[in-house]
Structure 1
Amino acid sequence: MSFGEIFIILIPIFFVILLGFIAGNRGIFNKETSKGINTLVTKIALPAHLFVGITTTSRQTIFDKAPFLGALLIGVIGFFIVVLLVTKWTSRYDFVQSTMFSLNSTQPTFAFMGIPVMGSIFGAEAIAIPIALMGIIVNAVLDPMSTIFGTVGTRNKNSQSDENKESILKVTGKSILHGLTEPLACVPIIGLILVLVFNFQLPELGEKSLDQIGDVVSGVALFAVGVTIGINKIKLSLSAFSIAILKAIVQPLAMVGIAYALGLTHNDFVQAVLLVSFPGSAVATMIAIRFKSLETEVASAFVISAILSIVTLPFLITAIM
């Protein structure tokens, strides 16, 4: 597939993002109203779409994705841990700041850009399982892990009392439970259990019913990305650029090496790389804001990585296809 063909595929995608940007920048949507769009996508429409994709897939096809899952675990969780350690050892950031820096350098906007971008290349049905697996890794592992690390770092700065140490256990349990109850984690998990354990296949009526809401994912998700970019102001800094470059360039290149080393099939190879090549996640930004750590830097990095992806995505797709 040539660069021109890839660019033609991406033009409508970036056009919808631009519309969302204008709406956010002009004040048609603000931080409060944009939450409604994000909630629709992440808690209703996308989970419905993924459930259909999983429960209309054969058990063997899911089993065949085991190497792909391994690549995602290394490319997401492994990358997060490496960046965290390097940042903590080589910078003046404390543990909380290093965690937020690493999280925002790692977590992609897979839920919003995965379906329109990858669906345009492979078809919507073919990418349901890859996106579902990424959803489980991010929502059930990466975000809870970052929340736990952030809490530990915050409390260690304030106190070393036994009471706080005991409360960390509660925080750990709550963080994991919260991650598992997120629709983007629990719905794919339920779908996988139904298929793998019970060999369940969704009836046609159920598929058509869920598709009524699931089919809105592509356009609405892209618009939501644009709105989020439009309502955030950019403050250029070395940290913001570092996060954006790690997210948009370094992590995809690292995944190329991981996928190649694990011997993934061509389609799995391309999908694994693309899933980590999307811009940084607004969810990761919100976690940093929750801990009052690098708020301006990560918000700016989100916008910078989104702009950077306009250039990197066409070149990356052309190179790996």
Structure 2
Amino acid sequence: MSIGSIFLTLIPIFFTIIIGYMGGYFKVFNKDSSKGLNTLVTKFALPAHLFIGITSTSKETLISQWAFFLTMTLCIIGFYIIMLIIARFAIKYDLTKASMFSLNSTQPAFAFMGISVLGSLFGAQEVAIPIAVTGIVVNALLDPLATIVGTIGQSGKGKAEGEKSGKLGIILHGLSEPLACIPLIAVVLTLFGFQAPELMKSALDQIGSVTSGVALFAVGVTVGIRKISFQPVAVGISVLKVVALPLFMVLVSNVIGLNHADTVKAILLVAFPGSAVAAMISTRFDSLSTETASSFVISTILSLISLPIYISWLM
């Protein structure tokens, strides 16, 4: 795939961000209304979207893709944990900030770009299951884990609403977040054979379908209000996302022994730019909000260079 094709795939993403940026820059939205958009995404739209996406994947699909699932889990969760340790003890961030730094260095925009980019290489039918598996790892494991760790960090400083005493209470408080508990419930239900009926899909899709657009728009608003940051943190998150994580996936996929086609899919799925959803979670915690929103934009620009390189190398 040429750089021109990649650019055409990214145009809708940039367009939505730019519209949001103008809304923030020209003061149509302020910090309070920006937080309202974030609440809509992280507490209502995204949990509904994730529940339907996970419970639409069959139990058999999850079981048959165990090697791909294991590879994605070890890479994505492993990289998050490695970055969390580095951010916490080497950079000396507090636990919440370390979690947001690590989340945004790890989570790819696979949902926005997977079908367009991978579908053109392998066919839409061939990449549907890998994208669904990646969604489960990100939505049911990574996002809840980052949310729980972020909540523990805030609770440790006495900032979380309804703070509970003791570590167990803090963890339960983190699990009570819709973005943490809903995907986990969906995975458990799916493993027990539950499939969301059409009526439930239609009902939840009314709110869940706005997730991608509103998340991208809200990132633009955040950047418009706070301006794009080219500080080392924002650039560092971007480089970790589009360079370090794909290289880490090369190592993990070779250790697991994935076949070549699945290895290519796995590497490209994590090589996509940073996720608008991850940036929204940072805004939710009011931690590295400007840096993570900026890193989403920076990593998207960098992907115009990195993705064609990866594709020409792997294919």
Give the TM-score, by structure 1 length: 0.75
Q: Check if 1:188 corresponds to 2:187.
A: no
Instruction: Specify the code of the residue in structure 1 equivalent to 2:279.
Output: S
Compare 1-10 and 15-24 and name the one that shifted more.
Answer: 1-10
1:225 paired residue number: 219
- In structure 2, the residue corresponding to 1:281 is in which secondary structure? helix
The answer to whether structure 1 residue 48 and structure 2 residue 48 are counterparts is yes
For the residue of structure 1 that corresponds to 2:27, the secondary structure is coil
**Which residue matches 2:208?**
214
Can you list the C-alpha shifts for 1:79-107, whole angstroms capped at 9, x where unaligned?
Answer: 3443344456655x3xxx26456434321
Worse-superposed segment, 27-36 or 125-134 = 125-134
Change (3 A) 1:192 1:78: closer
Q: 1:253 to 1:8 in 2, by over 3 A?
A: same
Correspondence 1:204 to 2:208: no
User: Could you say if the C-alpha distance between residues 235 and 273 of structure 1 is closer, same or farther in structure 2, counting changes exceeding 3 Å?
Assistant: closer
For residue 116 of structure 1, the aligned residue among 106, 112, 126 is 112
| C-alpha contact (below 8 Å) 2:17/2:216 kept by paired residues | yes
Pick the aligned partner of 1:107 from 103, 106, 127: 103
Gaps of 5+ in 2: none
One of 127, 132, 149 as aligned partner of 2:136 = 132
Task: Using the TM superposition, give the Cα deviation of residue 134 of structure 1 relative to its aligned residue in structure 2, in angstroms.
Answer: 0.9
Partner in structure 2 of residue 273 of structure 1: 270
Which shows bigger deviation, 10-19 or 115-124? 115-124
Provide, for residues 86-141 of structure 1, a one-character-per-residue CA deviation record: whole Å limited to 9, x for no partner: 456655x3xxx264564343213999944322243456965444223312223432
Aligned mates of 2:306, 2:217 — CA distance in 1 = 23
State how far apart, in whole Å, the 1-side matches of 2:57 and 2:87 are: 41
Indicate how the Cα distance of structure 1 residues 248 and 179 shifts in structure 2: closer, same or farther if over 3 A, else same. farther
Alignment of 1:141 onto 2:145: yes
Partner of 1:305: 295
Give the match for residue 159 of structure 1. Answer: none
Distance 1:64 1:276 in 2: 28
**Change in 2 beyond 3 A, CA 1:176/1:114:** farther
Residue pairs, 1:87-106, within 5 angstroms: 93=92, 97=93, 99=95, 102-106=98-102
Q: 8 Å contact 1:71–1:272 — kept in the other structure? A: no
Aligned equivalents of 2:200, 2:106: Cα separation in 1: 25
Q: Deviations over 1:190-242 (max 9, x none)?
A: 22222211x22222232223222222222222112211222223555444443
User: Structure 1 CA distance, aligned partners of 2:252 and 2:42?
Assistant: 28
User: Contact 2:39–2:284 at 8 Å: present in 1 too?
Assistant: no
Unaligned runs of 5+ in 1: 156-167, 290-294
Task: Tell whether the 8 Å contact from 1:54 to 1:191 is kept in structure 2 after alignment.
Answer: yes
* One-letter identity of the residue aligned with 1:115: A
Q: CA RMSD in A?
A: 3.5
TM-score, normalised to structure 2's length? 0.76
Compared CA separation, residues 309 and 212, structure 1 to 2 (3 A): same
State the partner residue of 1:9.
Answer: 9
For 1:173, the equivalent position in structure 2 comes to: 168
Match of 2:243 among 249, 256, 260: 249
Residues 129 and 251 (structure 1 numbering): CA distance in 2 closer, same or farther, change over 3 Å?
A: closer
Alignment of 1:291-302 (within 5 A): 298-302=288-292
Moved more, 172-181 or 236-245: 236-245
Partners of 2:221 and 2:108 lie apart in 1 by 12
